[in-house]
Structure 1
Amino acid sequence: MTDADAEAGPDADAALPEDVDAVRAALVEWYEADHRSFPWRETTDPYRILVCEVMSQQTQLERVEAAYRAFLEAWPTVEDLAAADRADVVGFWTDHRLGYNNRATYLHTAAGQVVEDYDGAFPETPDELQELHGVGPYTANAVASFAFNGGNAVVDTNVKRVLHRAFDVEDSDSAFEEAAQRLMPDGESRTWNNAIMELGGVACGKVPRCDEAGCPWRGSCRAYETGDFTAPDVPTQPSFEGSRRQMRGRVVRTLREYDDLALDALGPRVRVDYAPGGTFGRAWLRDLLSDLADDGLVELDERDGDTVARLRR
């Protein structure tokens, strides 16, 4: 048992799967096999990581990447930024549509602190990093994790969505933090936090891409099993029993057992009251399957006049 396991409370133990080691290994293997390439993932320079984290606040990564490269061309080191004219930094922020200009001033001030108060060497722990102007708990922990491999589990919107869907973790900050910390292997914050955020960004977005992205947690994922992909940042759905999401789950479970099924072969396996021309008939089932196809979970073909469904691989 790791230190994180020993410190976790009963709620975290109840939410997470029994074989936590296998879950950890599956995610790290998935991430290391293939992941999106971003320049801030290729460095452990705390200055560059801080620039990325400040830019990424409520800004799309596609826009951040171009701005990040340009920013570092203008001010490649923390000393360069500290010596820059603040108006130039704010002007850059505005030109690249990076959100609130106060983030530019915070970053500029923080650079000055590192140079003047820390002789150019960044503090390394989350608590110390929060002494920098405008650096809150999340950003401090991210810099500690990705620059120094010494942070706690990062809990952003993507991570909350993953934990809620996969392990039914309660929608509360304390529950998410506890579960995330228990899952993270000791001393591996850099790889782990990158991996779980990648999972949320690539496979478990608001519209899930479980099979298409090869999600490594499908075998233990509550949402994949039930078809209920509600999450903290996804609108709450009605009660589960008899609901559309329960039927979605039945479709997914049924199609796991067969290569493909036509509507009238699939329907009775989803609802006992399925009748081709009835309320819960072909039109109802086509609509359900269309939703699953839009979510990237099911493929639909027309064959000999019949709609045929299969799980998307």
Structure 2
Amino acid sequence: MTDADESRGPPPTEEGDIGASRTDEDDLDASIAVGGDSEASLPADVESVRAALVEWYETDHREYPWRETHDPYAILVSEVMSQQTQLDRVVEPWREFTERWPTAEALATADRADVVGLWTDHSLGYNNRATYLHEAAEQVVSEHDGEFPNTPEGLQELMGVGPYTADAVASFAFDDGGAVVDTNVKRVLYRAFDVPDESDAFERVADELLPEGDSRVWNNAIMELGGVACGKQPRCDEAGCPWREWCHAYGTGDFRAPDVPTQPEFEGSRRQMRGRVVSALREYGESPIDDLGRRVRVDYAPDGEYGREWLRGLLSDLESDGLVTTTETGGETVARLRR
């Protein structure tokens, strides 16, 4: 498995294995209510769904250094770094960070400016995350004698650790967290089991699916599924998705998701027209606006629907992107590619 365009972590608004799990006899019916009148189409044989995913993950998954440790400090660093950042981009800064400050004690005594500086050097975004990590390390040392809390509730007492991060660290470090629901997991649940785009629905279905006592493997596995097989561009067959036989999207061919809206038609779109403007300027050089318009659209008419006002809008977009410049010469707009 190679493709990985996903980032990890909670939605940007969060600051920061199983909780209660059903027994076999409580397994889900073919359809389970998830709040109000909404329903998720979950298979009756949930054990087979669980087993298929775990087997798929354990057979082959991407290797990341934080998956090779149960150290809660190292895992917390990885979780904070990977929020809205592609996992492959986290490896180098994570190694540098944990080599420079290998323990909570080392981080707690570090100069905060150095911590933020490393964060900035690697373009990890939101420097307050580095500050929160530093403060959380200080809390671990001063309030917990250097030992990390081992429950989601205890972990949430640390600075910057919200419910998502707490469940992730509790799962991956102590195998005792709840379901971890990030954007990738929501996409998987929405597509596979037609879960409504409602936070409570995703949380409930994720908790229902989570096998008791296996939060470490399960949460890694379902996030891996979202990152490798069920990304914004699905790779169901190529990645051997283990849920194809149950998946609503695979059966219907509708792969929309909360973060994957229906793509607008390219033909005739502004995106296509902007491309034509650039191509025309590249081929013909600087051009008066009406000459350019006729090269972009055969139905160009200076005062028509696709006329000067429409074309100036495209040129304005391209100027904002730093691709084109326009000048007024003799009362006429002239466009050229920016050099």
* 1:60, distance to aligned residue in structure 2 (A): 1.5
Kept in 2, the 8 Å contact 1:164–1:170? The answer is yes
Asked if residue 94 in structure 1 is aligned to residue 120 in structure 2, the reply is: yes
- Alpha carbons of structure 1 residues 11 and 236: separation in structure 2 relative to 1, 3 Å: farther
Q: Could you tell me which of 139, 161, 172 is aligned with 1:146?
A: 172
**CA distance in 2: counterparts of 1:124 and 1:150, whole angstroms:** 8
Partner of 1:11: 33
**Overall identity of the aligned pairs, in %:** 71
- Alpha carbons of structure 1 residues 95 and 129: separation in structure 2 relative to 1, 3 Å: same
Partner of 1:181: 207
**CA distance in 1: counterparts of 2:221 and 2:40, whole angstroms:** 23
* 1:14, distance to aligned residue in structure 2 (A): 4.8
- Alpha carbons of structure 1 residues 14 and 162: separation in structure 2 relative to 1, 3 Å: closer
Kept in 1, the 8 Å contact 2:79–2:165? The answer is yes
Kept in 2, the 8 Å contact 1:161–1:232? The answer is yes
- Alpha carbons of structure 1 residues 169 and 65: separation in structure 2 relative to 1, 3 Å: same
TM-score by length of 2: 0.67
- Structure ranking higher in helix proportion: 1
Question: Larger deviation: 13-22 or 193-202?
Answer: 13-22
Kept in 1, the 8 Å contact 2:61–2:224? The answer is yes
Tell me the alpha carbon deviations over residues 136-167 of structure 1, each in whole angstroms, 9 at most, x when there is no partner: 11111110111011101110011000001011
Amino acid at match of 1:43: T
Partner of 1:198: 224
Tell me the alpha carbon deviations over residues 59-89 of structure 1, each in whole angstroms, 9 at most, x when there is no partner: 1212111100010110011111011011110
SS in 1 for 2:92: helix
After TM superposition, list the pairs within 5 Å mapping 1:54-69 onto structure 2.
54-69=80-95
SS in 1 for 2:105: helix
* 1:15, distance to aligned residue in structure 2 (A): 2.2
Asked if residue 162 in structure 1 is aligned to residue 188 in structure 2, the reply is: yes
Partner of 2:248: 222
**CA distance in 2: counterparts of 1:237 and 1:48, whole angstroms:** 39
Asked if residue 42 in structure 1 is aligned to residue 68 in structure 2, the reply is: yes
* 1:236, distance to aligned residue in structure 2 (A): 4.3
Amino acid at match of 1:213: A
Tell me the alpha carbon deviations over residues 210-252 of structure 1, each in whole angstroms, 9 at most, x when there is no partner: 00000000111111111000101011479xxxxxxxxxxxxxx
Unaligned runs of 5+ in 2: 1-19, 265-339
Q: Could you tell me which of 121, 146, 152 is aligned with 1:120?
A: 146
RMSD: 1.8
Partner of 1:280: none
**CA distance in 1: counterparts of 2:139 and 2:90, whole angstroms:** 24
Q: Could you tell me which of 134, 137, 156 is aligned with 1:108?
A: 134
After TM superposition, list the pairs within 5 Å mapping 1:160-309 onto structure 2.
160-236=186-262
Greater Rg over alpha carbons, structure:
2
Structure having greater relative contact order (Cα 8 Å, sep ≥ 6) = 2
SS in 2 for 1:193: helix
